[in-house]
Structures are given as structure tokens and as C-alpha cells.
């Protein structure tokens, strides 16, 4: 069996243009974080860190391992599906796309 290394993806999201209050954004990210951890096996739940910028309250950082990323993507998808407004659905799909682009870029680097 091949020993796979664990990669970590760093994603920065600036939600200033979204027009949503920072307190609401914190709640959304906390809910996604909690759901991703519920979906993940116990041994990898600590491989996800979601944090808010100290000065720019509409800016968030996500650090996620390649092992935890699929659970984060699933949690984002579930959050998008629960939204009724097209603007928020679109926002979550964009966030999901950013996480997946980091994952696929890493796979490309391994293959190439």
C-alpha cells in the first residue's frame, strides 16, 4: 500500500462585496465547519481550521487537509442546498469551487 502524504490547502475568502454582516458570515462558516467535522472520521476532524481576519471582519481563511477537503465540500454543498436565495447559493457554489480548484491543482502537481 502506498503511503500518501497529507497536503494542506490555504484558501482566503474576502466577502466584502457580498453585503452580508460579518456576524452572519461567522455563523455561516461556523455551521459549515461543524457539519464538515460531523461528516468526517474522528481522526481527521482537526485537519480543518476556519478563521476570521482580525482587522477585516469580512475576510476568512480556511486551512484544510486533502483528507478533510471532501467533507468540507460536502458541508458547503449541504449549506448551499439549504439556502433559498440565488445570491447565497451562488456564493457557496463559488466557495466550493475554490476548495476544489486547490485540490485539483495539487493532483495536477503530483501527476505532472
Residue-range definition of the domain harbouring residue 18 = 8-111
Flag whether 67 is in a domain. Answer: yes
Flag whether 2 is in a domain. Answer: no
Q: Which residue has the higher pLDDT, 112 or 94?
A: 94
Q: Which residue has the higher pLDDT, 109 or 52?
A: 52
Beta carbons within 8 Å of 9's beta carbon, 6+ residues apart: 62, 63, 64, 65, 66, 69, 99, 102, 103, 106
Please state, in angstroms and rounded to a whole number, the distance separating the CA atoms of residues 7 and 33. Answer: 19
* Region of poorest pLDDT, from 3-12, 42-51, 57-66, 95-104: 3-12
Phi, psi at 12, each rounded to 5°: -115, 130
* pLDDT for position 85: 87
Q: Which helix (H) or strand (E) holds 9?
A: strand 8-14
* pLDDT for position 111: 42
Nearest in space to 15 (alpha carbons), one of 60, 55, 51, 73: 60
Would the pLDDT of 3 be above 70?
A: no
Domains in the chain: how many in total?
1
* Percent of the chain's residues with pLDDT above 70: 88
Flag whether 3 is in a domain. Answer: no
Amino acid at each position: 500500500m502506498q503511503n500518501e502524504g497529507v497536503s494542506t490547502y490555504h484558501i482566503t475568502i474576502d466577502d466584502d462585496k457580498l453585503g452580508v454582516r460579518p456576524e452572519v458570515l461567522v455563523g455561516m462558516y461556523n455551521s459549515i465547519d461543524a457539519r464538515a467535522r460531523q461528516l468526517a472520521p474522528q481522526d481527521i476532524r482537526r485537519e480543518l481550521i476556519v478563521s476570521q481576519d482580525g482587522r477585516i471582519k469580512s475576510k476568512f481563511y480556511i486551512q484544510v487537509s486533502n483528507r478533510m477537503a471532501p467533507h468540507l465540500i460536502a458541508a458547503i454543498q449541504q449549506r448551499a442546498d439549504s439556502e433559498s436565495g440565488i445570491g447565497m447559493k451562488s456564493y457557496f457554489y463559488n466557495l466550493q469551487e475554490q476548495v476544489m480548484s486547490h485540490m485539483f491543482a495539487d493532483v495536477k502537481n503530483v501527476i505532472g
